[in-house]
Amino acid sequence: MFGSLKKKLSKTVSKIADKIYSKGNEEEKTEGNKINKINNEKKEILNKKENELSEVAQSKTEAYTKDTGVVAKYNAQIESPSKLEEEIEKKEKIGFFDKFKLTKTIKKVLGKDVILTEDDIADILEELELELLEADVAYDVVERLVESLKNQLVGTKITAKDNPEEITINALKNAIKEILSQKNMDIYELIEEKKKSKEPVVIVFVGINGTGKTTSIAKLAHKLKNKGYSVVLAAGDTFRAGAIEQLEEHAKNIGVRVIKHQKGADSAAVIYDAIQHAKARGIDVVLADTAGRQATNINLMDEIKKVVRVTKPDLVVFVGDSLAGNDAINQAEEFNNAVNIDGVILTKVDADAKGGAALSIAYAIGKPILFLGVGQRYEDLEEFNVDWMVNKLFGDEEVKYSTEREF
């Protein structure tokens, strides 16, 4: 899952890390040259001073040949180089502060401290932009991600003790967390809340044809039932041939009831009846299917507005097909404008190598992804949260999903 996105992000990590190392080496190389230069200069000074001193000592010796004590002093100086060096350092005022500066320079040079400039990573970020667009990540999301990466990396000091790969991965993780920072929604909390007032939670599923609404309803019913909640389904897709029978098949497999009318009946009426049924029997959750519709079809969009107006659901969930990439994002925006989506279920993520929709859809409409459809079995519905996504994108394990079909 998210295979190609994962590869693209790890490529960026290694490119930026390489840039940090090479810049550090450059600095180290430059600093290395500086050290050699300083050492050579020092050697020259030492040699010059040594010659000077020996001339002085020579002339002194001549002048004071009588006084051997003095000669011994000068000889002693020439004999002990460290003493000589001290003498020279005093003379050439290398002294403590100069020494410290020298050490400091050496420290900076040896410390490989690196501060990335915008130019250092401009090409890498440009390449990342293209790669993300290729993975169907929405343009605004790509811009936001790259901007965040730049703000975190440019101008920040990276020292020898830092690990450039770690620095870059953390910056990318932060950028992705920023993009997926929509307020999360805990469906179980909502159910517990409504149970207190003996009211069912009503969830209406909307989306275009074939995205996986009916299937996702069945998977969620399966999940809720396993968590001990009672569920009833509303066959609100009275339009598509076979939709009611498909939902009945799922209901039978999972062991829940379906409230249905005949084909062509009013969708809002079916859902309304299912709500009354749930209230009368103290059922916890009503999951309402609706007919798939193109967001561009004004009449069908008016119908879904009526369904929401009449049934007043607790949640309107948009079901998007991750394989549709940017189209899924555009559809989510259209439905959100029409009926104010509360959350998203993104289906067929198991079959979606790109992964761009998962990164973009929540950002595009400012609403959280609630679940991901990851296969064709009833348990193939993953609860979505940011850390889970980040772990999938940067974790080591290769996630393999079963290709079994249960429906």
- Cβ neighbors of 38 (< 8 A, separation 6 or more) are 102, 105
Encode burial over 14-48: b for 16+ CB neighbours within 10 A, e otherwise: ebbbebbbebbeebbeebeebbeeeeeebeeebee
| Residue nearer to ligand GTP on the CB measure, 103 or 209 | 209
As given in the structure block, the two tokens for residue 364 are 């595009």
* Number of CB atoms found within 10 A of residue 160's CB: 11
CB of 114 to ligand GTP, least distance (A): 44
Give the shortest CB-327-to-ligand GTP separation in angstroms.
14
Convert residues 214-233 into a mask of x (bound to ligand GTP by CB under 6 A) and - (unbound): xx------------------
Nearer to ligand GTP, 286 or 374 (CB): 374
Binder among 158, 234, 274, 374 for ligand GTP (CB under 6 A): 374
Whole-number CA gyration radius for the chain: 36
Cross-strand pairs, 95: none
Is 273 marked as binding a ligand? no
Pick from 225, 240, 263, 277 the residue near ligand GTP by CB under 6 A: 240
Cα-Cα-Cα-Cα dihedral sign, residues 318, 321, 327, 329: positive
In the list 27, 237, 284, 342, the residue contacting ligand GTP (rule: CB under 6 A) is: 237
Binding mask 146-175 for ligand GTP (x = CB under 6 A): ------------------------------
Judged by CB under 6 A, the number of residues near ligand GTP is 22
| Nearest partner of 45 among 34, 53, 35, 57, judged by Cα | 53
Q: Between residue 271 and residue 300, which ones bind ligand GTP under the rule CB under 6 A?
A: 292
Q: Using DSSP bridges, classify how beta strands 315-321 and 285-288 pair: parallel, antiparallel or unpaired.
A: unpaired
String marking each residue 337-356 x if it binds ligand GTP according to CB under 6 A: ----------xx-xx-----
- Shortest CB 220 distance to ligand GTP, Å: 11
**Residue 212 found at the interface with ligand GTP (CB under 6 A):** yes
Which residues neighbour 354 within 8 Å (Cβ) at sequence distance 6 or greater? 4, 5, 134, 135, 136, 322, 325
* Number of other residues whose CB lies within 10 A of the CB of residue 310: 15
Distance of CA 64 to the CA centre of its chain: 81
CB of 375 to ligand GTP, least distance (A): 5
Q: Does 375 bind ligand GTP (CB under 6 A)?
A: yes
When asked if residue 209 is in the footprint of ligand GTP (CB under 6 A), the reply is yes
Q: Is residue 267 a contact point for ligand GTP (CB under 6 A)?
A: no
Kindly state the tokens that stand for 14: 């290694």
Q: Which residues are annotated as a binding site?
A: 207-214, 289-293, 347-350
Q: Which residues bind ligand GTP (CB under 6 A)?
A: 207, 209-215, 237, 240, 243, 292, 347-348, 350-351, 373-376, 380, 407
